[in-house]
Amino acid sequence: MPIESTNPTTGTVVDTFESDSGTDRDDRLERASDTFEGWRETSIEHRQQLLSAAADVLREGRDDYAELMSREMGKPIGQARDEVEKCAWVCDYYAEHAAEFLADEVVAGEPNARTLVTYQPLGPILAIMPWNFPFWQVFRFAAPNLAAGNVGLLKHASNVPGCARAIEAVFREAGFPAGAFQSLLIGSDEVDEVIADDRIAGVTLTGSDGAGRSVAETAGSELKKTVLELGGSDPFVVLEDAPMEHTVETAVQARLINSGQSCIAAKRFIVVDDVYDEFLDRFVEAMDGQVVGDPMDDATDVGPQARADLMDDLHEQVEATLEAGGECRLGGEPMDREGAFYPPTVLTDIPADSPADSEELFGPVASVFRVPDEAAAIEQANDTRFGLGASVWTADLARGERVARQFESGLAFVNELVKSDPRLPFGGVKDSGYGRELARDGVREFVNAKTIWVQREAGEETIQVE
């Protein structure tokens, strides 16, 4: 069955791909399994060299990869170029640090024994990835896992098949074995069968909490390790001493990055009463000044939503919030133009349990809440089933860190928007998932942390292994 990628700016077909048949899928699984047997024995130094080569391939093809993202899912072209560069960065990062993170660790034990922990790869890992950061989400999985000696199989979102195939080609061009990283162009209805396949050792998913529950249930029944990075409704807390100009400028960026389609975008703006009116006035004005347009134009700040049905879902959430008693200060209607364009939107006076209060709004819609003080702001920030990221804005950095420690989230930032960084662990709590990507934590998620005990006879010297 053909898979079409459609340009959300124009509605035209970008490209058509043949989906993998059952035989194709089985062949790729077998190739992954066979490749793993040799790849696991490859020296960490060689794996690092290939990751460095992948970074070079990405940088050489940056403009082409960026344009592909913009065509398939509407990402503004400048952000798409930045995404490619970030993928190269994560490859470089593990090319430099993987050996350190995966080195054996000698730990204290009995005096007549050498005891250590060694980190060994598990096997083929299935990655189920979303469309919103179609290169970055994949590379932040692939780089640490290939460095660890695992091999990867990618089930990408159905609207970015071109990106899936391009990523596979990056690793092939960099010199990785053909089965080290492969793309599966299959439907969502085939995922459970792949997870249950004995050749799959673990599963990672970035997506909705509903998808996460389904994948975790299937993987759990097979006793397979999972890492889940799910949705978020990140609070952006503005205290009375916040540096207002910088706070507003960053608030707009934090809400509208990737046209609002980001798990870690700021979605709930929680502002103390003393500065609420000033923040709201400035925020609405700044949001209104953003350029909505063709993502291939460098002047564009906000491109289309990735698919028309996703825009329709977002608008239904906005309408339901307004019908419940919320107020719309800006935007609130699909734009009257070709393509899936939704404008920057600001909602206030949001009723409890309305969609803008309790659900994730995956698009350029900001929910602004008024609270009396810091304590109420923290309570409001934590009053959600999600727990991915959070930020607080204040002139008092000690106060900011104290507040950050009280957020129920996997990530907490003071005077900075929530973002991923190869050097730092990334992941959430509550309905935002579990497990960590990136940094040392990420490279150790899909490994066997094996304890080795080497006993010596009394009087023998302690064994030393270089």
DSSP state of 361: -
- pLDDT for 124 equals 98
68-92: average pLDDT: 98
Is a pLDDT exceeding 90 seen at residue 312?
yes
Domains along the chain?
A: 2-230+432-452 (3.40.605.10), 234-414 (3.40.309.10)
> Cα-flanking dihedrals φ and ψ of residue 408, to 5°?
-90, 80
Query: Does 18 qualify as catalytic in the annotation?
Result: no
Is a pLDDT exceeding 60 seen at residue 70?
yes
- pLDDT for 109 equals 82
Mean pLDDT of the chain: 97
Is a pLDDT exceeding 50 seen at residue 460?
yes
Coil, strand, or helix at residue 13? strand
459 — pLDDT class (breaks 50, 70, 90): low
Give CA–CA dist 284/83, Å, rounded. Answer: 28
389-393: average pLDDT: 99
Coil, strand, or helix at residue 455? strand
Residues of 302-332 as b/e, b for ≥16 C-beta within 10 angstroms? bbbbbbbebbeebbebbeebbeeebebbbbb
- pLDDT for 397 equals 98
Closest CA to 1 of 14, 16, 19: 19
- pLDDT for 195 equals 98
Give CA–CA dist 278/281, Å, rounded. Answer: 5
**Residue from 91, 168, 263, 408 carrying the catalytic annotation:** 263
Whether the Cβ atoms of residue 259 and residue 300 lie closer than 8 Å to each other? no
**DSSP of 22-77:** HHHHHHHHHHHHHHHHHHTTS-HHHHHHHHHHHHHHHHHTHHHHHHHHHHHH---H
Task: Provide CB contacts within 8 A for 163, sequence distance 6+.
Answer: 65, 68, 69, 72, 134, 135, 138, 156
Closest CA to 219 of 233, 235, 205: 205
Task: Provide CB contacts within 8 A for 418, sequence distance 6+.
Answer: 234, 254, 264, 265, 266, 388, 389, 390, 391, 411
Q: Which amino acid belongs to residue 402?
A: R
Percentage of residues in the chain with pLDDT exceeding 70? 98
Query: Does 87 qualify as catalytic in the annotation?
Result: no
Task: Provide CB contacts within 8 A for 89, sequence distance 6+.
Answer: 55, 422
Is a pLDDT exceeding 90 seen at residue 187?
yes
160-181: average pLDDT: 98
Give CA–CA dist 220/211, Å, rounded. Answer: 14
**Residue from 72, 83, 229, 408 carrying the catalytic annotation:** 229
Read off the tokens for 251: 């608030």
274-303: average pLDDT: 98
Is a pLDDT exceeding 70 seen at residue 466?
no
Residues of 58-80 as b/e, b for ≥16 C-beta within 10 angstroms? bbebbeebbebbbbbbbbbbbbb
Whether the Cβ atoms of residue 124 and residue 153 lie closer than 8 Å to each other? yes
2 — pLDDT class (breaks 50, 70, 90): confident
Task: Provide CB contacts within 8 A for 434, sequence distance 6+.
Answer: 227, 228, 427, 428
DSSP state of 437: B
Give CA–CA dist 67/58, Å, rounded. Answer: 13
- Reported as a single tens digit per residue, the pLDDT across 93-136 is 999 999 999 999 999 888 899 999 999 999 999 999 999 999 99
| E-state strands within 83-137 | 105-107, 113-121, 124-128
- Reported as a single tens digit per residue, the pLDDT across 409-452 is 999 999 999 999 999 999 999 999 999 999 999 999 999 999 99
Percentage of residues in the chain with pLDDT exceeding 90? 96
Query: HSE of 129 in the Cβ direction (CA atoms, 13 Å)?
Result: 28
**DSSP of 336-353:** SSSSS----EEEESPPTT
Give CA–CA dist 122/119, Å, rounded. Answer: 10
Give CA–CA dist 326/370, Å, rounded. Answer: 13
- pLDDT for 461 equals 58
- Reported as a single tens digit per residue, the pLDDT across 347-357 is 999 999 999 99
- pLDDT for 215 equals 98
Task: Provide CB contacts within 8 A for 293, sequence distance 6+.
Answer: 299, 300, 302, 303
Task: Provide CB contacts within 8 A for 316, sequence distance 6+.
Answer: 355
